[in-house]
A and B are shown apart, each in its own frame.
Chain A
Amino acid sequence: MKIWENLIEDTKKIIPSDVQCEIKMINSIDSLTRFANSHIHQNVEEEMTDLYLTFHSDGKTTNLNFNITSLGSIDEVVKKALSEIENNPKDSSWPGLASKENSYDGYRNLSPENPDLRAQKVKDFIDQGGSFNGAGYCSSNVSNVFVWNTNGLSSSDTATSAFLDGIFRSETSSGSSHLGHKTLENIDGEKVGQEAYSIAKESQNPQDIDPGVYEVILGPDAVSTILVFLAVYGFNAKSKVDGTSPIEIDTQQFDKKITLVDDPHKEGALNFKIDASGSPKAQTEIITNGVPKSYFHTRRTSTELNEKNTFHEMFGWGDSFGGLGTNLYLQPGGISKDEMISNVKKGIYINEFWYCRVLDPITQVVTGLNRNGSYLIENGKITKPVGRLRFTQSFMSSLGQGNVLGVGSENRFADSEFGEGILNVPMLHLKEFNFTGGVSG
């Protein structure tokens, strides 16, 4: 990309030899077509080119970021950075720059999707809803990342994604569905619409049930919520550095049916194959048969814990966040949805969780609610839709030994509170889940 090449050429000429410098550029076109009350009401596109610059000199570090328009001249930026760096205290945990050998060339010059195609996908969805009220979005994205440093590393990658996410609402119910793929043309709008409509239809006139401990079947979006919380607050090595992670490597903390990998090379994976240091990511075992195998490391956390770097540094998130896997895949089991339901004597099917918050990071006790489709299952059959429930439940225990009764046979990209497209998961059947409140509080 010409902008990038020119910037790096100019930078090379002016960086003093005793200064370590790393420059990252994110160039993307994000497009999103939003609909509500069964028509498109907001339709947006943003083209951005953001730069993240890190300078390290005399044991001190400073970070600057600009978009390409506000950057002005790189000469002045370098002068400003080197002047500011003098004010900073020593950076005792500076982990250094990635080496030249880590360079990776994955850039592809791709064009954004067309707003007409997004509108067509929305129409395909809406057309499945009959008299129900449809809302949601169809998005598409092309992102390019570039990393250069004074060690001589030069890396780039390109990723694309598209999502269709929608709900249908009746007077008394709602149902949702969500699909993701690398390209918009592969999103089946009718399928997403049919799923959402079917759930909304079957969820009408929900009944209250008493709070308590229930067996549950969790849809992919609910499963992804549990895993993303464990990923951010547990497997993120920064939480280990801070002493707040509940995860103990090589200890049987989860049920043997749980195997989670981070694999940017898996067919269909949506996110970058390099991390923000510019280094290539490899397939990483996170949980194998219920045993945690690795944290998500950055340069800093791997240095601080003296462990091997797994290259999970996030573009644009800063050192205080830590690391996170963005191509997570929960290994499927062999149980179909119907078979899973038939195995439940008395339990609840939860399509989605909503507004989940951690009460304590070490115990991973989380509170939240259900929405967009929940049913009571009795003697292997769905008997009635159920209304709003609040849970207060340890997510560690929810996947603990003996609590995972079954793993679904079909994976899909699921939404999560930390973004979509980072988790590809099946349904789960759990033995116990603690609901602490109903519709009346």
Chain B
Amino acid sequence: MFNQINKSIDSAIGSGAQYADARILISKSRNISSKDGELEDFNNSENMGLGIRALVGSSWGFYATYDLSDKSLIEAGKKAYLIAKASSKVPGNDFPLADVPIVQDKYVTPHEQNPFKVSSTDQIDLLVSSTHEMKKLGSSIASGRLNFWDTEKWFGSSQGHEIYQNIIESGGGISSLSIGDGETQIRSYPQSFGEYRTGGWEVIQSFKFLDHVERLTEESKRLLTSPQCPEGTRDLILEGSQLALQIHESVGHAIELDRILGWEAAYAGTSHLQLNKLNEHKYGSTLMNIVADATLPGALATFKYDDEGTPAQRVDIVKEGIWTGVLTGRDSAAIAGVSPGGMVRADGYGRLPMVRMTNVGLLPGESSLEEIIASTDDGVYMETNRSWSIDDLRLNFQFGCEVGWLVKNGKITDMVKNPTYTGITPNFWGSMDMLAGKDEWVFWGTPNCGKGQPSQIGHTGHPASPARFKDVRIGVRG
């Protein structure tokens, strides 16, 4: 494969590119969905191709093709150069590239059972039996899904990188939807849209779906007759997976350096963060310690090298509430004068690599969910995301959860439906006053992060444990 990659790179460099790198990918995926005890969709997918990017002045040119013949690979290198060169009609300052180690290496995701070598019957049976049980127990729509990815990547650059990686990811989840008079209520496990990790079939086995079908069905039905979440300002306790999405939206995207530099301004937006405030800006309370760590075993965004050949690493993002780090690529890091963090990835061979969150997580505290609830006089505990929306500076957000529980005088009392909360990023994080510890710290994964044009879907991780936030506006309704 590296011979083929180098043909394309040589062609781009020979045409006039300052730098070029290329990836050949073989990507396999399996998607299974089940509804009400029946198989709804079973799809195996496989594709293979090359994507090459060439740097000319102030622009990347990128060309992707499924045709891996020598003639096509050489043509692809030329096209990447010509596309980049066409950009000179509207030029900017030349892009510098930060130095990274030039390595030749191999990496395979540690796993016990490759999900593509496990009988599909076992995988289908797990979903069909889980959804069958929920339907039998009274769920209006019982659904489940499993998704597996096995991605082989060969990366080479004009600087001499030759890296092979085989990334294996597995995940899924089940949901019970109850339909009432003009409303729906849902409960999901392990989280809404499922939970995803790097690893094999053992990831799915660890979820033990069948142990949760009764609770999900009962809670989704009970929500229909539960009172609405009260409106007002109260203490808010967030379960780990909801806090993971809160981190993703209000921290993870805000710290992407391409956004801060304005490269995503027209679509995903920019950021409320300004580089000249790095190491000064107060992001949250002193309990807030965020790291971006692509080396966490089993987390969804764990790898050994990113799609620019930069080694995976752990970078401090927020330390004791102060903003200290950003997510970078070789170009953006050089412009900002920071070290490249190995955070550039692409969605398949056909997309240009871009800054992507790795495992951006909140380090655990020293409390526990039990202690947090016991020390709350008047609050709401919210579990499992149902909706999310945030502005393009990553400041003004509103989240909805599947279920809320009133907390009074240190005890959980009533279930409430349609819980929502809203806030402004630094105020919200500044109000975090209790944080659960390592025993409740989970490597939550998000497999559906959209960014870029053309659109790319990224897989990101967000380790988190439950936490409490003071005086949050809750219960917003239309």
Contact = CB atoms under 8 A, between A and B. Distances in A.
Do the two chains belong together in a single complex? yes
A58 interface: no
B177 to A, nearest CB: 8
12 contacts: A40-B90, A44-B60, A46-B51, A48-B64, A70-B48, A84-B120, A115-B82, A120-B89, A243-B179, A318-B41, A355-B392, A390-B398
A66 B38 CA distance: 25
B275 interface: no
Interface in B249-270: 261-267, 269
A369 B91 contact: no
A390 B79 CA distance: 44
Interface residues of A, number: 89
Contacts of A404: none
A167 B141 CA distance: 42
B40 A320 contact: yes
Contacts of A36: 261-266
B339 interface: no
A135 B262 CA distance: 8
B447 to A, nearest CB: 16
B418 A70 contact: no
Interface stretch (A27-35, A97-105, A218-226, A373-381): A27-35
Interface string B385-418: 0111111100010101000000000000000001
Interface of B: 26, 31, 33, 35, 38-49, 51, 58-68, 79, 82-84, 86-92, 95, 119-121, 124, 128, 140-141, 177, 179, 182-184, 261-267, 269, 350-352, 386-392, 396, 398, 400, 418, 420, 422-424, 427, 453-454, 473, 476-478
B396 A33 contact: no
A380 B82 CA distance: 51
A437 B422 contact: yes
A182 interface: no
A369 B42 contact: no
Interface of A: 30, 32-50, 61-70, 84, 87-89, 91-92, 114-116, 118-120, 122-123, 126, 133, 135-137, 139, 165-167, 169, 176, 242-244, 318-320, 354-363, 365-369, 371, 388, 390-394, 434, 436-437, 439-441
Nearest to A354: B392
B266 A46 contact: no
A70 B47 contact: yes
B350 A359 contact: no
B66 A365 contact: no
Given A44-B60, A441-B396, 5 more contacts: A43-B84, A69-B68, A122-B90, A135-B262, A354-B392
Which of A38, A43, A91 has the most chain B CB atoms closer than 10 A to its own CB?
A43
Interface on chain A toward B: helix, strand, loop, or mixed SS? strand
A272 to B, nearest CB: 19
Contacts of A69: 47-49, 66-68
Contacts of A165: 266
B90 A434 contact: no
B41 A63 contact: yes
A38 B62 contact: no
Contact of A43 (B86, B420, B477): B86
Contacts of B88: 119
A32 B83 CA distance: 10
A371 B392 contact: yes
Nearest to A246: B182
Given A119-B86, A394-B478, A437-B398, A64 B124 contact: no
Nearest to A71: B46
B308 to A, nearest CB: 14
Given A32-B453, A359-B478, A63 B48 contact: no
Closest 4 CB pairs of A and B: A39-B92, A40-B87, A115-B86, A67-B47
A84 B352 contact: no
Contact of B90 (A35, A114, A176, A355): A35
Contact of B388 (A89, A123, A167, A357): A357
B119 A87 contact: yes
A139 to B, nearest CB: 8
A197 to B, nearest CB: 14
A88 B33 CA distance: 12
Contacts of A169: 265
A118 B49 CA distance: 25
B59 A40 contact: yes
A167 B182 CA distance: 40
Nearest to A42: B60
A359 B418 contact: yes
B154 to A, nearest CB: 14
A43 B396 contact: no
Contacts of B46: 65-67, 70
Nearest to A166: B266
Nearest to A319: B41
Contacts of B84: 43
Contacts of B454: 30, 32, 44, 46, 139
Contacts of B59: 39-43
Contact of B262 (A40, A133, A355): A133
Nearest to A122: B90
Contact of B423 (A116, A167, A242, A441): A441
Contacts of A63: 41-44
A50 B43 CA distance: 14
A242 B82 contact: no
Given A359-B418, A367-B398, A47 B89 contact: no
B43 A318 contact: yes
B39 A91 contact: yes
A46 B79 CA distance: 11
Contacts of A318: 31, 41, 43
Contacts of B68: 69
B183 A360 contact: yes
B38 A115 contact: no
Which of B95, B388, B422 has the most chain A CB atoms closer than 10 A to its own CB?
B422
A62 B389 contact: no
A47 B128 contact: no
B205 to A, nearest CB: 19
B39 A89 contact: yes
A119 B478 contact: no
A87 B389 contact: no
A320 B33 contact: yes
A362 to B, nearest CB: 6
Contacts of B47: 50, 65-67, 69-70
Given A36-B266, A44-B454, A89 B352 contact: no
A371 B266 contact: no
